[in-house]
Chain A
Amino acid sequence: MLLDVQSSLRNGIFVIGGLLSFVLAGAALKSSSQAPAQPTMVPPVAGQTQRGGLSVVVLDPAHGGTDPGARGTGGVRESDLVLEFSDPVRRALEAQGLRVRQTRQGNDDPSLDDRSAMANEQRGTVFVTVHVSSTGLAGTVRVYTMTDFPPMTDTTGMLAWDRAQAPFLELSRKLGDLVQGQLSQQFKGSPGTAQTAAVRQLRTTAAPAIAVEVSSVAVDDRAALERMAPGVAGAIARGVAAFRPIYEASPAAGALP
């Protein structure tokens, strides 16, 4: 087990497989290569506001490694495309003064929990996972936030890892609507507001979190999708920038690691 005690004031406490372990904000904790089973974390403290502001975007190019995601008949793979999309998205976010952490840089496949952990282990973060679908009107982009589900705390008042998104649903929807609003201006036929779906990746993320899905791998010409990348990147960056003051005024945002 590896513990970094540098930021002990920002602790979250996780119970992993019956053993008490501590996950520190900004710290790396790996008790093994396996993802945490059913850890819990401290719940938000009511009334506490974010002091440092929104500074980090965890950008998640979905799938990778042995998981190609959606596959088009022309050999287009979602895992490759989202990695290509992540470059302009990262640059656009950095141009807004935000730091970007990517869940993967190459063709590897971190677990869904490991991807969420990158956002959960630090403050001032939003999470954006990027996908390309198999279906949908070509040239459109949809934003999803997690469906409603009740938060669950245990007897110690800790929040379950698998319900980490619950306290952030409202913020996620505001972020989703802002990004979707930008996307609908860029890509005709895209919805005007974010939709909800039980996206597995979002459920374990303790930060405002959205999934952005581009349609689709079914296009005949891969270049048509690649041409969408700058527009998608700009829309995400403008949406996140517009979300900053909302995040900073929110009591929930500053409370979790």
Chain B
Amino acid sequence: MTPRWRTRLLVGLALAVMAAAIYFPILRRRVQRAARLQQQSEEQARRELTLTLPANPGQPRVKTKLFWASSTEDGVLVPTTADLPLSDDPVLRAKQVLNTLLAGPVDTELRTLPPDAALLEFYLLPDGTAIADFSEALATSTPSGIQSEQLAVDSIARTLEADVSQVQRMRILIHGQEIETLAGHLDLTGTFVVNTNPAPAPTSQPSATSAPAADKASAEPRKLTPGTAPGKLAQPGHKP
């Protein structure tokens, strides 16, 4: 190779390196933006799939309490009452109220749950233990902190307590998995007490004798996932 061609080659390589140095950050930003958009659209799709359809138009509207943050007191939940056509089936009813809770109040400042979080599935065991399975956004988008994580879980528990009397206690899963904390602080490996004076189980539920004793269920830590949960899962025959 002649010195002239060698120079040309070096200049060409130098230009290619410079062009790559300029283009690489642009490319990286585009890839990150595409990943973000994909994640958002996945969450949106999941949310649309799991959103409760309006209940039977013939269903009577009942007063429903939804717990969001207080506008006047720091770290306090207050009930908002709405008339909703709720199902009599406790699982469908729980999905309806939780999806309404997730949709949030008119004043978005009073939200307790992130707007992109979705309820993926809800199970009710015969012993009154509810298993609420949420999308990853509940864990990744809930503001980190004891107070904010406590408000998020309390708003779910108190809404279920007010509107679905069959739920005695609740476990929270994230995308079907048990995780250690919600956003770094609040323990999600145990059950949360929802209702200490539950209504009698509906007749459509399996016999309570087949379920683990309530005291035992609350005293013994064990991994409860929809796939391995003890007892028969009370699921509706179709998605709402």
Which A positions have Cβ atoms within 8 angstroms of B? 62-63, 67, 69-71, 78, 112, 131-137, 140, 142, 144, 149-150, 152, 160, 162-163, 189, 197-201, 203, 211, 213, 215-216
Contacts and interface: CB of A to CB of B under 8 A. Distances in A.
A150 B150 CA distance: 20
Given A140-B74, A200-B180, A200-B181, A134 B144 contact: yes
Contact of A70 (B75, B144, B186, B189): B144
B176 interface: no
B221 interface: yes
B225 to A, nearest CB: 17
B143 A135 contact: yes
B107 interface: no
A199 B75 CA distance: 16
A150 B219 contact: yes
A135 B183 CA distance: 13
Contacts of B184: 62-63, 67, 69-70
B146 A134 contact: no
B68 to A, nearest CB: 14
B235 interface: no
B147 interface: yes
Determine the interface band of chain B, counting residues with CB < 8 A from chain A: 20 to 34
Contacts of A132: 145
Contact of B145 (A67, A70, A203): A70
A70 B184 CA distance: 9
B11 to A, nearest CB: 42
A30 B52 CA distance: 50
Nearest to A200: B187
B15 to A, nearest CB: 37
Contacts of B64: none
Contact of A135 (B148, B189, B219): B148
Contacts of A135: 75, 143, 145, 147-148, 151
A134 B190 contact: no
A78 B181 contact: no
